[in-house]
């Protein structure tokens, strides 16, 4: 863990996190800090525990050991401040709900019990749909959209939440080049507003262009820090095995 970062610079602290499914460890002894107003890519091979780390940070999976703090407090206390964009494959797209209703879900944490979304909430949801280029689809059923369009809608839901931390699980998976470019622009806008992004990513070719920091993981943290310090052949080989950069066409 980088203990040199000042408390005021830290958005998320993960302490001594170990996660197992049945008795098989998936993440082992993870200590990591994610800095405020930075985008961090979590990268590693299949089965490395990338999605598990995000879910454990969100409290969706109970770890064997460890804790996660957002702004020095328990994640449960900070729920409104944390937006989650799940993997599109994990969502039931047949649920009968419109695009606008999905985005309005991002407002529920601000409403309290029983209250319904009001005019302000609808305006924020519509603005979020405009940001992702989906305003013309707001009355459509979510099941009618393409994979890339569905991904944009879930990003809009996160933006409507007005969170300060965004946890995303492979938001570029299955999207076309124009959607990917639009998402990258939005991520940069989120960061420039002082917010924090932690994002599971699989494409080594785009890491240096898209992100400020890199976390290389393979059940344990292999390396973590600014792209220019961490993204090198030695660390990639330690994460994926020898000659990984050459196999990815980057060497």
pLDDT at 24: 87
User: Residue 148 in 3-state DSSP?
Assistant: helix
pLDDT tens digits, one per residue of 167-207: 999 999 888 888 899 889 999 999 999 999 999 999 999 99
User: Residue 186 in 3-state DSSP?
Assistant: helix
- Say which DSSP state 2 is in: -
The domains located in the chain, with CATH, are 7-242 (3.40.50.300)
Please, are residues 235 and 216 in contact by the beta-carbon 8 Å criterion?
yes
- How many angstroms separate the CA atoms of 33 and 19, rounded? 18
pTM attached to this predicted model: 0.89
- Say which DSSP state 90 is in: G
- Beta strand 82-85 with 65-70 is unpaired
pLDDT tens digits, one per residue of 221-237: 999 999 999 999 999 99
User: Which parts of 13-146 fold into alpha helices (H)?
Assistant: 50-58, 99-104, 108-111, 119-131
Q: Picking from 23-27, 35-39, 133-137, which range would have the lowest pLDDT averaged per residue?
A: 23-27
Q: Is the dihedral of CA 133, 190, 17, 243 positive or negative?
A: positive
| Tokens representing residue 122 in the block | 């609808």
The mean pLDDT of 45-53, rounded to a whole number, is 95
The number of residues in the chain equals 251
Question: Residue 30, CB half-sphere, CA atoms under 13 Å: how many?
Answer: 35
Q: Strands (DSSP E) along the chain, which ranges?
A: 10-21, 24-35, 39-43, 65-70, 73-74, 82-85, 165-169, 196-200, 213-218, 220-226
Helix (H) or strand (E) holding 78: none
The band of 148, judged by pLDDT with boundaries at 50, 70 and 90, is confident
């Amino acid at each position: 863990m980088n203990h040199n970062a000042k408390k005021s610079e830290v958005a998320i602290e993960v302490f001594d996190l170990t996660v197992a499914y049945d008795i098989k460890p998936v993440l082992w002894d993870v200590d990591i800090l994610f800095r405020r107003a930075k985008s961090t890519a979590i990268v590693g091979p299949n089965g490395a525990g990338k999605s598990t780390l995000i879910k454990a940070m969100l409290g969706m999976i109970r770890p064997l050991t460890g804790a996660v703090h957002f702004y020095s407090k328990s994640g449960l206390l900070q729920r409104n401040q944390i937006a989650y964009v799940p993997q599109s494959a994990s969502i039931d797209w047949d649920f009968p709900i419109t695009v606008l209703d999905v985005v309005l879900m991002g407002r529920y944490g601000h409403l309290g019990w029983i209250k319904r979304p009001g005019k302000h909430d609808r305006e924020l949801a519509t603005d979020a749909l405009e940001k992702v280029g989906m305003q013309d689809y707001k009355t459509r059923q979510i099941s009618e959209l393409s994979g890339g369009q569905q991904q944009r809608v879930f990003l809009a839901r996160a933006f409507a939440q007005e969170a300060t931390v965004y946890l995303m699980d492979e938001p570029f998976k299955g999207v076309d080049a124009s959607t990917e470019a639009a998402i990258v622009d939005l991520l940069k806008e989120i960061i420039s507003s002082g917010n924090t992004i932690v994002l599971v990513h699989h494409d080594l070719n785009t890491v240096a262009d898209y992100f400020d920091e890199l976390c290389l993981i393979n059940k344990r943290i292999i390396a973590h820090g600014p792209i220019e310090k961490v993204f090198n052949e030695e660390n990639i080989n330690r994460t994926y095995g020898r000659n990984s950069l050459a196999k990815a066409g980057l060497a």
